[in-house]
Amino acid sequence: MTNKPLTEPQKKQSDSIVDTVLSGQHGKHSFQTVYTYIHTRIQRGDWQAHAKLPSVRQLAEDTGMHRLTIFKAYQHLKDDGHVYARDKSGYYVQPPTLQVLTNEAELGLPLFQGNLGDLHRIQVKYQFSQALITPNLLPNHYFAEYVKQVFDLYPKLLGTYAPAQGDLELREMLQHYFTDTSQFHVHADEILITTGAQQAISLIAEVWIRPGDHVLIESPAYASALDVFQQKGARLVPMTINANGYDLAQIEQAMKQYKPRFFYLNPTFHNPTGICISAEQRKQLVDLAAQYHCLLIEDDTCQDIYFGQKPPLPLFAYDTEGYTIYIRSFSKYVSPGLRIACIVARPEWFTSLLAAKSLADGGTPLLNQKVFLHYFTSTRLQQHIEKLRIALRIRFEMMDEELSSTGWYYEPPQGGFNLWVRLPDHLSVPELLARCLKQSISFVPGSLFDHHESSKQYIRLCFSFASEQEIRTGIQQLVAIAKDMESNSSE
Amino acid sequence: MTNKPLTEPQKKQSDSIVDTVLSGQHGKHSFQTVYTYIHTRIQRGDWQAHAKLPSVRQLAEDTGMHRLTIFKAYQHLKDDGHVYARDKSGYYVQPPTLQVLTNEAELGLPLFQGNLGDLHRIQVKYQFSQALITPNLLPNHYFAEYVKQVFDLYPKLLGTYAPAQGDLELREMLQHYFTDTSQFHVHADEILITTGAQQAISLIAEVWIRPGDHVLIESPAYASALDVFQQKGARLVPMTINANGYDLAQIEQAMKQYKPRFFYLNPTFHNPTGICISAEQRKQLVDLAAQYHCLLIEDDTCQDIYFGQKPPLPLFAYDTEGYTIYIRSFSKYVSPGLRIACIVARPEWFTSLLAAKSLADGGTPLLNQKVFLHYFTSTRLQQHIEKLRIALRIRFEMMDEELSSTGWYYEPPQGGFNLWVRLPDHLSVPELLARCLKQSISFVPGSLFDHHESSKQYIRLCFSFASEQEIRTGIQQLVAIAKDMESNSSE
């Protein structure tokens, strides 16, 4: 190769970034110089799809610029969909997708290419993508008063570490709470306090998943959990969930065939579909788990967020054989700023989880646990949850009303935060999202909950974050955009 | 085997726990029945050293007892050193060690057999084992007042999630703080907030260690970090640290030979030895790291806990090549109840760490970050740190005074929380610990910081937790016990 005479195009490929930088507008916006340099070379094909790009270190050395400047340029290139990053390995050229090529030209606007986290970072006026409760629905002032009282109770609170398993007083409270509300017969020793449900999922993955292990998941499923399992090298086997609940024959077949490490599931007001699995299926599922020695990891966030009747008891309450590990999160509706969740597991599973928690962070901060304990058990909070249910139900009904003219299909949820809406086949979800984002409206396309085609015509609309007025206006606009797309396509 | 006629001993081996339970004192203390059953069978040799014991599930099924009862029996058997647990695999017979056999008989008291965590769980009056600052030395009331003010500043604090990287306001404060105090030129984008240093260590291990990788550690070293590295499958290569600092030739040789993933080190008032590495060695070390492309993981907990002169700048400040990743913890001396620490890393290392943090828990709770931010920057806290240094120095001097009659060797530390004391060769450290624990005095035997023989004659005495009076009385008693042992052995 090196002996060949340089032809004109090859000469171009050897363009130096040093020249570019020296000739360019060095200074405050120097990252843009780097951005332009890399983008131009990708555009003209010097670097092909999936080619490894020069390292941050290398470019910093070549240009004498700070590494952070180069890094910033790569971050912008990534945000704009020109490059992608691979952990510890560097940056690569993002191949243009067919969708981008066709739609960008047609629409004159870029399609959203990122993951759930990327979508959540986009600031919009009409927020239907994040399944969070707006802080306006939480009793903030009351909470602030409460924290002050907790300090009076425990004057040395901030000078003390919590045990790795969690504060005993809190675990004993939860023991009684579960007995009273969920008919669990559980001991405080079987409860582990975690920093949010995300940490609970991460610890379980750390303990049970080895590369190549099979894990059953729901299809569609909560994306952040799947990221954790995949990062540990799990092979994910999707199990259908729909208005009929699970397909138990499919689950039995998968347990038999794959001997999975566990089935991660969210049976109560499932995210994203809002489905609530019947008591009958819950019983059958724990029987299957015992028969095939397959752990059930039950992620339960919405147990308290029901609109009419209480949901059936958690799987854990039906499980006499001890194959269920129960994750209960209180973050979303009690206090996102505290991040309190817990894992309930029988002794034979518990030791490994506790060891993993000790290594992970040595224990959730005591401040958060004590504040949660006293706040959660206060009469006022329990009254607040009553009000919250009503407020969420009203928001759901408003969204339902605004969508009524569309004829789009969805099961009205009996609890939770989301509507899982099937769009007509001729409506392009990526295009709808692109148009909505441009008008400051966000939702989550179904494809982000699923690697399969089956969810690609769905969207998740969250009704717990936007205000009532925002729901009215935002959904009206979304529907208008969809109608506009339909009338254009039928022309 | 099954066709052989049962001889008497074999018949005994088939003793059923069901018979034992039925004949025993079933009821409130039924775990003791299970304990006695298993202990007896181990004692008489039915189950040999390292034999797998019946599972919790199996025994629960056989006896009809609750699994928790069986579990409790195993926990007590484990605490008493009769069995050991292996994650996910069950319980095994603990082989009796020579020490136990000889010393238990001689002393009439059990030797301590556990790890650092087990030792810390023992409640004693004279606490010289945990390297913590007593809550009495922290400004608790002031802190409580402060938290109330923080809620006035951010009324919706508890309704809000923090970003995974950490609160931007806090990271910007730390950026300026590092520039002012440690001459770091670092950007807020290069700072990741973690829940304590333990999480920082855990994330770094998650990102960089694959099973079989070599990791350089100090010898002796902070035990909880080593547990994390070993759990990830690292091969630990110990590097000497002593009054002369590091042996740079040894480190260079190890970097060359093993191509380690990183060197985990604690150069400022090192735990357990209290040694502070010179500026000269710090410079040489960052040069070696760059030369051999070996990351340095600098764990810095005691930067602010100096008795006289400030320590040299962190390695990170000397490192122009970007091979240092800096962990700074504020938990111990600012507020253990908050658990705020951070990782500072250059962009090329940062992306992977942030991804690991997102998967691990999605972000440290916002409450803790905002409280820390305002508390840490208050004039009053900075004045408090001044007083804390004096208080710790006084406690060190008291301990020093009480040990002066012994002639035991130790380097007087210039900061930190610990004294690393070499006992005379003829003094048995396990026996001293056993005798001290019996008199409600605790310290950490050197062997827990080291898998090698070199630290077995050392003990770590922490002077930051006990009160001044407890230091006087406790150390006097410890010295008396040692003198008694010496006079007995010379008889």
- A 38-77 residues with CB < 8 A to B: 55-57, 67-68, 70-72
Phi, psi of A273 (to 5 degrees): -80, -20
Given CA atoms A123, A127, A129, A134 in this order, what sign does their dihedral have? positive
A307 and A391, same domain (yes or no): no
In this structure, are residues A331 and A338 in contact, taking their beta carbons and an 8 Å threshold?
Answer: yes
Across the interface, do A368 and B365 touch by the CB < 8 Å criterion? yes
Provide the residue range defining the domain that includes B198.
Answer: 161-377
pLDDT at A128: 96
- Mutation test of the interface with chain B: which of A168, A171, A339, choosing the one with the most B Cβ atoms within 10 A? A339
A398 and A446, same domain (yes or no): yes
pLDDT tens by residue, A228-242:
999 999 999 999 999
- A 128-167 residues with CB < 8 A to B: 132-136, 138, 140-141, 143-144, 147-148, 151-152, 155-162, 164
Structure ipTM over 0.90, yes or no: no
- Mutation test of the interface with chain B: which of A207, A367, A380, choosing the one with the most B Cβ atoms within 10 A? A367
- Asked if residue B201 is part of any domain, the answer here is yes
The whole-angstrom separation of Cα B84 and Cα A435 is 61
Tell me which chain A residues have a C-beta less than 8 angstroms from the C-beta of B70. Answer: 347
A358 and A387, same domain (yes or no): no
The whole-number average pLDDT for the span A192-196 is 97
In this structure, are residues B297 and B261 in contact, taking their beta carbons and an 8 Å threshold?
Answer: no
Q: Residue A109 — very low, low, confident or very high, per pLDDT cuts 50/70/90?
A: low
pLDDT at B197: 95
Last residue of a domain, one of B345, B377, B409: B377
Tell me which chain A residues have a C-beta less than 8 angstroms from the C-beta of B160. Answer: 135, 336-337
Q: Tokens 């390695």: give the residue.
A: B315
- Across the interface, of B135, B207, B368, the residue whose CB is closest to A160 is B135
pLDDT at B335: 84
Answer whether B198 touches A (CB < 8 Å).
yes
The whole-angstrom separation of Cα A401 and Cα A403 is 5
CATH number where A88 lies: 1.10.10.10
- Asked if residue B306 is part of any domain, the answer here is yes
Across the interface, do B348 and A156 touch by the CB < 8 Å criterion? no
Mean pLDDT, chain A, whole residue set: 86
Pick the residue from chain B with its C-alpha nearest to A71: B347
The whole-number average pLDDT for the span A244-263 is 96
- A 297-336 residues with CB < 8 A to B: 322, 331, 335-336
Question: Diameter of chain A by CA atoms?
Answer: 83
pLDDT at A57: 85
Last residue of a domain, one of A95, A125, A146: A95
Residue B298 DSSP SS3? strand
The whole-angstrom separation of Cα A362 and Cα B192 is 18
Output A76 or A218, whichever has higher pLDDT.
A218
What percentage of residues in chain A have a pLDDT greater than 70? Answer: 89
- Asked if residue A143 is part of any domain, the answer here is no
Across the interface, do B144 and A157 touch by the CB < 8 Å criterion? yes
- Asked if residue B47 is part of any domain, the answer here is yes
pLDDT tens by residue, A325-355:
999 999 888 888 889 999 999 998 998 999 9
A355 and A428, same domain (yes or no): no
Residue B202 DSSP SS3? helix
Tell me which chain A residues have a C-beta less than 8 angstroms from the C-beta of B354. Answer: none
A222 and A367, same domain (yes or no): yes
Tokens of B242: 């002593």
- Across the interface, of B161, B189, B231, the residue whose CB is closest to A336 is B161
Residue B78 DSSP SS3? helix
Across the interface, do B147 and A148 touch by the CB < 8 Å criterion? yes
In DSSP terms, B215 is beta-bridged to B236, B262
- Asked if residue B106 is part of any domain, the answer here is no
In this structure, are residues A140 and B159 in contact, taking their beta carbons and an 8 Å threshold?
Answer: yes
CATH number where B424 lies: 3.90.1150.10
Q: Tokens 């254009």: give the residue.
A: A488
pLDDT at B81: 78
Tell me which chain B residues have a C-beta less than 8 angstroms from the C-beta of A132. Answer: 161
B286 and B165, same domain (yes or no): yes
Across the interface, do B365 and A161 touch by the CB < 8 Å criterion? no
pLDDT of A140 above 90 = no
pLDDT at A64: 80
pLDDT at B20: 52
Tokens of B81: 């050193």
pLDDT at B62: 80
Q: Tokens 């699995």: give the residue.
A: A277
pLDDT at A80: 77
B215 and B309, same domain (yes or no): yes
Q: Which residues have a Cβ under 8 Å from the Cβ of A323 and sit 6 or more positions away?
A: A286, A289, A290, A293, A294, A295, A296
How far is residue A64 CA from its own chain's centroid?
Answer: 39
Tokens of A138: 């939480």
For A416, A462, B57, B401, the CA distances from A120, given in Å and listed in that order, are 19, 12, 44, 60
A367 and A260, same domain (yes or no): yes
Tokens of B233: 């499958």
Tokens of A94: 């993002």
A170 and A83, same domain (yes or no): no
Q: Residue A181 — very low, low, confident or very high, per pLDDT cuts 50/70/90?
A: very high
Phi, psi of A86 (to 5 degrees): -120, 135
Across the interface, do B202 and A161 touch by the CB < 8 Å criterion? no
pLDDT of A434 above 60 = yes
- Asked if residue B23 is part of any domain, the answer here is yes
pLDDT at A26: 44
For A152, B36, B152, B159, B438, the CA distances from A147, given in Å and listed in that order, are 9, 47, 12, 14, 41
Tell me which chain A residues have a C-beta less than 8 angstroms from the C-beta of B118. Answer: none
In DSSP terms, A245 is beta-bridged to A242
Phi, psi of A176 (to 5 degrees): -70, -40
pLDDT tens by residue, A349-402:
998 999 999 999 999 999 999 999 988 988 888 888 999 999 999 999 999 999
In DSSP terms, B191 is beta-bridged to B344
Phi, psi of A205 (to 5 degrees): -65, -40
pLDDT at B17: 57
Positions of chain B with pLDDT lower than 50, given as ranges:
1-14, 22-28, 97-103, 105
Domain count, chain A: 3
In this structure, are residues A133 and A451 in contact, taking their beta carbons and an 8 Å threshold?
Answer: no
pLDDT of A106 above 60 = no
DSSP per-residue codes, B251-272? HHHHHHHH--SEEEE--SS-TT
The whole-angstrom separation of Cα B345 and Cα B262 is 14
Torsion of CA A281, A286, A289, A291, to 10 degrees: -100
pLDDT at A1: 36
Q: Residue A490 — very low, low, confident or very high, per pLDDT cuts 50/70/90?
A: low
- Asked if residue B150 is part of any domain, the answer here is no
In this structure, are residues B67 and A190 in contact, taking their beta carbons and an 8 Å threshold?
Answer: no
In this structure, are residues B131 and B418 in contact, taking their beta carbons and an 8 Å threshold?
Answer: yes
pLDDT tens by residue, A291-323:
999 999 999 999 999 999 999 999 999 999 999
How many residues are there in chain B? Answer: 491
How many residues are there in chain A? Answer: 491
The whole-angstrom separation of Cα A158 and Cα A403 is 49
CATH number where B216 lies: 3.40.640.10
B40 and B173, same domain (yes or no): no
Residue B248 DSSP SS3? helix
A244 and A333, same domain (yes or no): yes
- Asked if residue B78 is part of any domain, the answer here is yes
A371 and A391, same domain (yes or no): no
Report the range of poorest mean pLDDT among A140-144, A460-464, B485-489: A140-144
HEC letters along chain A? CCCCCCCHHHHHHCCCHHHHHHHCCCCCCHHHHHHHHHHHHHHCCCCCCCCECCCHHHHHHHHCCCHHHHHHHHHHHHHCCCEEEECCCEEEECCCCHHHHHHHHHHCCCCCCCCHHHHHHCCCCEECCCCCCCHHHCCHHHHHHHHHHHHHHCCCHHHCCCCCCCCHHHHHHHHHHHHHHHCCCCCHHHEEEEEHHHHHHHHHHHHHCCCCCEEEEEECCCHHHHHHHHHCCCEEEEEEEECCEECHHHHHHHHHHHCCCEEEECCCCCCCCCCCCCHHHHHHHHHHHHHHCCEEEEEECCCCCECCCCCCCCHHHHCCCCCEEEEEECHHHHCCCCCEEEEECCHHHHHHHHHHHHHHHCCCCHHHHHHHHHHHCCHHHHHHHHHHHHHHHHHHHHHHHHHCCCCCECCCCCECCEEEEECCCCCCHHHHHHHHHHCCEECEEHHHHCCCHHHCCEEEEECCCCCHHHHHHHHHHHHHHHHHHHHHHHC
